[in-house]
Amino acid sequence: MNCYEPTDLERIVSNALTERGIKFAAQFPTTSGFVLDFVIGPNICLEADGPCHDSSKAKRRDWFRTKCLIMEGWKVFRLSYHVIEDPKKLTKELDKILL
């Protein structure tokens, strides 16, 4: 049983991926203990970053996390809420990532 409730931003990304027919796993645990927002292919992940990721402390934490994931072999794409909340920007960004 999964007790996790996705954020509004995660729902938007999830819907966008589903509309494109992209299979994904949400809230995917890694061997290092991180949980990825979305895994869309072998070692490819999307992170949906809300406003809480804007602070300098959060940016350092995200940088460290991304570096750890890259060392594990992940290709990490971070989607800011500015992109996720704008359907045209989200479509453009997903096009770049998925093509």
pLDDT for the residue 6: 86
pLDDT for the residue 1: 46
Question: Could you tell me the residue range of the domain that residue 71 belongs to?
Answer: 47-99
Q: Is position 96 within any domain?
A: yes
Consecutive sets of 10 residues in the chain, 99 residues long: mean pLDDT of each? 78 96 95 93 92 84 93 96 97 93
**Do residues 62 and 78 lie in contact, with contact meaning Cβ atoms separated by under 8 Å?**
yes
pLDDT for the residue 8: 93
**Do residues 76 and 70 lie in contact, with contact meaning Cβ atoms separated by under 8 Å?**
yes
pLDDT for the residue 4: 74
Q: Is position 29 within any domain?
A: no
The number of folded domains in the chain is 1
Q: Is position 88 within any domain?
A: yes
**Do residues 44 and 77 lie in contact, with contact meaning Cβ atoms separated by under 8 Å?**
yes
Q: Is position 18 within any domain?
A: no
pLDDT for the residue 17: 97
